[in-house]
Amino acid sequence: MTSTTTVTDHMTPAEFDEAFTAVMPRLRRRLLVLTGNPHDADDLLQETYLRLSRRARARTLARQQQPYAYTCAAALNLLRDLWRHPSRQERCTDRLPERSWDGGFATREAETVTTALLRELSPKEAAAVILVDIEGLTHDMAGERLGAHRGTVQRNRMRGLAKIRSALDTNVPDMGGVPVR
C-alpha cells in the first residue's frame, strides 16, 4: 500500500510567508495589547512565525478557514509558556555577572591591609581618613567630630592618603598593569 500526497498537503515557503504576512498586522496589534510592550510583542510575533514556519509543510496555514485564529492561538500558547516558565526567557543585562564567592577571603584581606596601612599613620591622619573616606563624612562634619577646623582635617587627610599611596606603591605586588590609586 503506497501513500500518496497531494499538492494541497504542503506549502511552499513563499505561500507560508504570504499567508503569515496577511495576518501579521492584526496579530501584532493583539499581541501589543496582551503584552503592553512593543518589543515583547515583536519578539512574540517572531517566535510565532518561527514556530509555525517549522510546521508549514505539515499544516497548511493558507488553507485554514481562519488563518488569523490559527496564528493567534499559536501566539497565545507561546505567551502562556512565557508566563508559566519565565526562566525560559533570555534576559539581557548591562551588569557584569557577580564575582564568585571566595568565602570572604578577599574582604578579609582588604580589611587586614587597610588596618595595617592605617596603623602607619598618625592618629590625626588616620582619624581624618577614616571619617572622610571610609565613613563618608564631609570635611566640615569630620572637623566637628574631631574638634578641628575643616582645613586641618583636609590637610591631615591629604597627608594620610599620600602616605598610604606611597606604601601601596612600594609594597603591593604587580596587579597586572592596574594602577592602585
| pTM of structure | 0.44
Q: Is residue 101 part of a domain?
A: no
Burial 37-69 (b: 16+ CB within 10 A, else e): eeebbebbbebbbeebeeebeeebbeeeeebee
Model confidence pLDDT, tens digit, residues 113-148: 889 999 999 999 999 999 999 888 999 999 999 999
Same structural domain, 14 and 72: yes
The answer to the question of residue 159 being in a domain is yes
Is the Cβ–Cβ distance between 180 and 169 less than 8 Å?
yes
CATH of the domain at 139: 1.10.10.10
Residue 98 inside a domain? The answer is no
pLDDT, tens only, 149-174: 999 999 999 999 999 999 988 865 55
- Can you give the CATH number for the domain in which 27 is found? 1.10.1740
Chain segment 6-37, per-residue pLDDT in tens: 445 567 788 888 888 999 999 999 999 988 88
Q: Is there a single domain that holds both residue 138 and residue 80?
A: no
User: Are residues 61 and 122 part of one domain?
Assistant: no
| Torsion, Cα of 95, 101, 105, 107 (10° steps) | 30
User: Rounded CA gap, 162 and 173, in Å?
Assistant: 19
91 in any annotated domain = no
Q: Residue 162 has what pLDDT?
A: 95
Which domain range does residue 158 map to?
111-171
In the block, cell 519578539 appears at: 43
- HEC string of 108-131 equals HHHHHHHHHHHHCCCHHHHHHHHH
Q: What's the pLDDT band for 177 if we cut at 50, 70, 90?
A: very low
pLDDT digits (tens, 9 = 90+) for 34-75: 888 899 899 999 999 988 888 765 566 767 788 888 899 989
Residue where one domain finishes, among candidates 44, 67, 85: 85
- Residue 39 phi, psi dihedral angles, 5° rounding: -70, -45
Q: Is residue 176 part of a domain?
A: no
Say what the pLDDT of residue 89 is.
63
Give how many domains the chain has, as a whole number: 2
